[in-house]
Structure 1
Amino acid sequence: MSEAKTTDDHNEIQQWAETRKGRPAKVKGALNDGILRIDFGEPENGLEPISWKEFFLIFDHNKLLFLHQDRTGDGKLSRFNKFVDRT
């Protein structure tokens, strides 16, 4: 099984997402700065597309880390990801 790893490197996060045809987004109607997501494929109704610049402003303001997996256990490109608190 492939292990997940964390990063706060903007370039690494953007490259990981774009390699999987992911786009930066946030949950529509969420309080505060919003809840970040990577949107894959067809845009989801509950998500609002945002720029990478806005994405990383929210990411840094909320002191997040990006937890992600590069490949699945059988070697396929993985889209597993989530955002976790740095502390």
Structure 2
Amino acid sequence: MSEAQITDNHDEIRHWAEARKGRPARVKGALDGGILRIDFGEAEPNLEPISWDEFFRIFDHNKLLFLRQDKTADGSLSRFNKFVGRP
């Protein structure tokens, strides 16, 4: 597996997601309304699309970092990502 990168830069996050045909989303019905995901278009009925502005408002409010992998071990584009709290 390729090395993971971590960022809070909005432009980097958006570019990474869009390069993989990902769109901003959140989990429907989450108590705080702010469990973020990147939706890659597979059937996930528990996700609802949101704007990038709303996505980054929640991201900043929850003081998150975005952990991502750019490429897999074989050099293919990776879609692995995770949201983590700031230390």
Equivalent residue letter for 1:66: F
| TM superposition score normalised by structure 2 | 0.96
Residues 15-35 of structure 1, C-alpha deviations (whole Å, 9 max, x = no match):
000000000000000011320
After superposition, where does 1:54-69 map in structure 2 within 5 Å?
Answer: 54-69=54-69
Q: Which residue of 2 aligns with 1:24?
A: 24
Paired residue total:
87
Q: Which residue of 1 aligns with 2:37?
A: 37
Q: Which residue of 2 aligns with 1:14?
A: 14
Indicate whether 1:81 and 2:73 are aligned: no
Aligned equivalents of 2:17 and 2:44: distance in 1?
Answer: 16
Equivalent residue letter for 1:74: D
Instruction: Report the Cα offset of residue 43 of structure 1.
Output: 5.1
Aligned equivalents of 1:20 and 1:43: distance in 2?
Answer: 16
For the aligned residue pairs, the C-alpha RMSD in angstroms reads 1.0
Equivalent residue letter for 1:54: E
Aligned equivalents of 1:64 and 1:72: distance in 2?
Answer: 24
Residues 23-75 of structure 1, C-alpha deviations (whole Å, 9 max, x = no match):
00000000113200000024521001000000000000000000000000000
Aligned equivalents of 1:50 and 1:56: distance in 2?
Answer: 10
Q: Which residue of 2 aligns with 1:72?
A: 72
Unaligned residue ranges in structure 1 (runs of 5+): none
| Sequence identity percentage | 76
3-state DSSP of counterpart to 2:26 = strand
